Amino acid sequence: MKTPRELTRAQLEGIAAAIRDILWRDPRTGGFDPEKEWSSDTIEWVSGVMEDADLKPGAVPTAHRAAADPAAATPSPQEACGALIATIEATGGCVRDEGGSLAPAGDPDWIDLADAYLAACAALGRTPMVEEPEEGEDGTDAMTNPTDPRP
């Protein structure tokens, strides 16, 4: 599964256009109908667009199932790493400060969690989502994200 940040602007625009067409384009006339009625098939078609773009999440990690059902199996190392990565990336990935310390964007004081995130990404061969400080034109630090493909 990809995250929207991993897609190019053109890919995201294509997804938005495909979903807009599903929701409001009249298949008979080809024009847009803002009053078009939707059926249960509509959500299936929208989810198909998301799946085709590799944005569909995988199975619920075992750790989540275990919380609901203590008899559930122990998560695999891949599932555990994937759950950690998804949690950190859902809050913006990690941020490196001007001093070089790396911390989750969601909790800048928890630098040990950033280390665990980097280890999980390495274990799964994933590129970590990290914002690096960059010197701006005026000599001040500005944050950039080299792993973010958006302009």
Amino acid at 42: T
Per-residue pLDDT of 91-124, as tens digits, reads 889 999 888 889 998 888 888 899 999 999 999 9
User: With a threshold of 0.75, does the pTM exceed it?
Assistant: no
Contact by Cβ (8 Å): 67, 87 = no
For the chain, the structural domain boundaries read 4-52, 62-144
Output the CA torsion sign for 22, 26, 29, 34.
negative
* pLDDT > 80? residue 8: yes
* pLDDT > 70? residue 80: yes
What percentage of residues in the chain have a pLDDT greater than 70? 79
